[in-house]
Amino acid sequence: MEQINKRLLSWASMLEDQARRQAVATSTLPFIAPHVALMPDAHWGMGSTVGSVIPTEGVVMPAAVGVDIGCGMSATRTRLRASDLAGRDLGPLREAIEREVPVSMGKYRATLSETAKGRIDELERLAERQDVDPERYAGNWRHQLGSLGSGNHFIEVCLDEADRVWVFLHSGSRGVGNKIAMHHVKIAQRQCEKWYVPLPHKDLAYLPEGDDEFWAYIRDLRWAQAFAAANRAEMVDRVVGCLVEWYGGEVGAEETITCHHNYTERERHFGRDVWLTRKGAINAAEGVRGLIPGSMGTRSYVVTGKGNRPSFHSAPHGAGRNFSRTEARRRFTVDQLAEAMAGIEWRRDNANAFLDEIPGAYKDIDQVMEDARDLVTIDHELRQILNVKGD
């Protein structure tokens, strides 16, 4: 761990100058209490650094949470082993998953499963209790439930160190969460402009706890976090269903782990009650299970938190980008992506669509996990055998 200044600690051995400057600017804000913590995967983001943990007193910064509220990971370990899959063609399984789970931007379900209907009922009741109106943001939010999206979101079938089969996926609150976030980001920016608040960047605009706008955001935020968790749970159910049909028998669910990595919660740290924003970071309180994915073609990890106090009980959320999508497309080739994905079932016929997700565009996950050794214990190491992504 490096102390960059009195209000900024870093666990990132791989930290670009641009990201460092951005994190320093965030740490100067007067409501930071007492410091910002940079995770091992930290990299430059809009307004504030991705892979940062930001405790604030009396305010929240909607853009610091980000536009994919509640984005995170879910994983289920089945009772299947690698030997159960030996000799089977994974292509039909991947194609079944791509039919059952809408992938890519703007792709949603035309019909709702019974499990989706049950989860929607719960989300409707939560919206009523919290005085939230998701309809104002996205009239089709119900049909967004159980959809993956694009970018770095993915579905994988993996094997752990004991050759046990896992379903592993990454997604968030989809279009409805994005619209909720953008609505409140704009309100915060307008408010700070109205008050002539000097900010290092407009995306560090905040909402004070005493204002109605603050609590409106918190209510919407909590609903979007619940939607994101339900969205991942619905997709896990669908993928497991595809696995059952492809395998020809029950596959079970021995354990399930889920975690957010873009969210804000009320927590107590260093004797203070703060709004803790984990922007690309997971809860790693002592004994809490978590998931840290690598990039496309690399390994991922199931972990248990150590409760590291200076990090606000946090850990990295993944490998973290090393190059922008544009730069990745300039630097790397489809042949290099195909080489990185050797031995993995994936949509190789559309390889160019995924070039900006090549492992070389991300930080070295092995180094990220080495930097995180004081934050988490590794329980399982997962290697991909099947990958589904949206283009």
- How many Cβ atoms from other residues are within 10 Å of residue 307's Cβ? 14
CATH T-level assignment (fold) for domain 2-389: tRNA-splicing ligase RtcB (3.90.1860)
CA atoms within 13 A on the CB side of 240: 24
- How many Cβ atoms from other residues are within 10 Å of residue 143's Cβ? 18
- Return the SS3 of 68: coil
The answer to whether the beta carbons of residues 174 and 136 sit under 8 Å apart is no
The answer to whether the beta carbons of residues 300 and 168 sit under 8 Å apart is yes
Residue among 43, 260, 317, 380 flagged as catalytic: 317
Looking at the DSSP assignment, which residues form a beta bridge with residue 51?
Answer: none
Structure-token pair, residue 178:
């994005």
- C-alpha radius of gyration, the chain, whole number: 20
How does DSSP classify residue 8?
E
| pLDDT at position 17 | 95
| pLDDT at position 150 | 87
Residues 6 or more apart whose Cβ sits within 8 Å of residue 121: none
The answer to whether the beta carbons of residues 159 and 385 sit under 8 Å apart is yes
Unique residue bearing structure tokens 């995170």? 72
pTM for this entry: 0.96
Looking at the DSSP assignment, which residues form a beta bridge with residue 159?
Answer: 165, 383
Report the candidate in 293, 217, 226 with the shortest Cα–Cα distance to residue 56: 217
Reduced DSSP (H G I as helix, E B as strand, rest coil) percent helix, strand, coil of the chain, to 5: 40, 25, 35
| pLDDT at position 31 | 96
| pLDDT at position 107 | 84
Q: Among this protein's residues, is 380 annotated catalytic?
A: no
Q: Tens-of-pLDDT digits for all 391 residues of the chain? A: 999 999 999 999 999 999 999 999 999 999 999 999 999 999 999 889 999 999 999 999 999 999 999 999 999 999 999 999 999 999 999 999 999 999 988 888 888 889 999 999 999 999 999 999 999 999 999 999 999 998 899 999 999 999 999 999 999 999 999 999 999 999 999 999 999 999 999 999 999 998 999 999 999 999 999 999 999 999 999 999 999 999 999 999 999 999 999 999 999 999 999 999 999 999 999 999 999 999 998 999 999 999 999 999 999 999 999 999 999 999 999 999 999 999 999 999 999 999 999 999 999 999 999 999 999 999 999 999 999 998 8
Phi first, then psi: give them for residue 288, nearest 5 degrees. -80, 130
| pLDDT at position 110 | 81
Looking at the DSSP assignment, which residues form a beta bridge with residue 127?
Answer: none
| pLDDT at position 30 | 95
The answer to whether the beta carbons of residues 269 and 48 sit under 8 Å apart is no
